[in-house]
Each structure stands twice: as structure tokens, then as C-alpha cells.
Amino acid sequence: MNYVLYGSKTSPFVRRIRVLLENVPYDFKEMNIFEGQDAIDLNKINPINQIPVLTDGEQTIWDSRQIFNYLNSIHRFQNMDWNDENQLTAIDGAMNAGVALLMLKRSGINISEPYLYINRQHERIDSVLDYLRPYLKDQGLKEWNFHTISLYSFLDWALFREIIKIDHRPECQSFLEYHKNKNILQHTQIPKV
């Protein structure tokens, strides 16, 4: 076991793996994925050009969900049934929609414009957060596992990037407030510069 995690300190996909690895030793290689040598290096280890990437000796794993599956098969963090898989897929859907909106913003596109593609991303995030409302109010405050870690990483990041508003979602506010003082969340805070 010789884990190296490639990523950035802002990515919610990377953060959920860093939080998952709270009690597991690993090296963190921070990269600027969009330019320079880091972008070239990333392409050598992942043709999709995305972070996170995990290497474990000769084994390379792409995609945070697969990294979770890989690590979970070794460390047995939690049992997963098909409903758990679905719930994670829903959270992943919201995260992917959030990242798509950020990429549009960075491309100079106003994400308040009513384009089909933009609307679909906002609607997906809303739909997932509506679906998760009962979970956020109840289990979400009792469990600390890859589901809650992923939700925290997503909500905290999407607020930071001004992708979502949660004024009308008290369960999201309570969820963030409830978990925010955990050491690992403080340790992996999104750099504000």
C-alpha cells in the first residue's frame, strides 16, 4: 500500500477522497490541471485529463467513484447495497452538473441564461437536493461515510463557487453546520485565494 493521490485543493471530487483517507497514509500531489507541466503529467497518468487520480504502486485508478470502490475493497470503510450505489450516483450527478456549470462560467458564459444545457444542470442539482432532503435531515446528521463526505464536499464547493443558493434549503444549512467543525474538513478546507 503506497498511495499517491493527484489532485487540487479546490476540487470536490478530490476532497471527498482526501476526507475518506483521513486515517490512511498517502502522498498528495497537487496539480494545476489546466496548463504547464502538470497538465502534461496528468495526461500521462489519465487520458481523461481529470482529477483525482490514485496510484497504488503499479496500479492507477481514474475517477473518484472508482477510487472509492478500490479503497473500499481494501479498507472496508462501509457496506454498499444497490440503494447506496444509487444515492452516490445521484450525488455524483449533482457534482458533475456543478462542475459543468463552473466550466461554463469560466468560459465566459452567463449561467443564468435559459439555455437548455444550463437549465438541465441547475434542474439536476435541484432535483438531487430535493430527493436527498429526508436523508439530509435524518441519516445525514448521524452518518459520516462516503455519502455524507461527498455531500459535504459538493455543497461546500458549490456555495464557494456560487453555483447554488441554499437560503430556501434549511436542511442543507443544518447539515453543513453540523459537520463543519470536523478536523478533517477544517484540514481540507477550500483555499480562499
Ligand X SMILES: N[C@@H](CCC(=O)N[C@@H](CS)C(=O)NCC(=O)O)C(=O)O
Q: Does 171 bind ligand X (CB under 6 A)?
A: no
For cell 493527484, what's the residue?
Answer: 6
Question: CA 100: distance to chain centroid?
Answer: 13
Binding residue for ligand X, selected from 3, 15, 54, 64, defined by CB under 6 A: 64
Is 63 or 156 the residue whose CB approaches ligand X more closely? Answer: 63
CB of 154 to ligand X, least distance (A): 11
CB of 92 to ligand X, least distance (A): 6
**Peptide linkage before 114 cis (omega within 30 of 0):** no
E strand or H helix at 25, and its extent?
none
Q: How far apart are CA 16 and CA 116, in angstroms?
A: 30
Radius of gyration of the chain (CA): 17
**Binding pattern for the stretch 119-158 against ligand X, x by CB under 6 A and - elsewhere:** ----------------------------------------
Of residues 15-44, those binding ligand X (CB under 6 A): 33
Q: How far apart are CA 117 and CA 92, in angstroms?
A: 18
For cell 481494501, what's the residue?
Answer: 74
Among the candidate windows 58-66, 108-116, 125-133, 185-193, which touches ligand X by CB under 6 A? 58-66
Binding region for ligand X (CB under 6 A): 11, 13, 33, 49-52, 63-65, 99
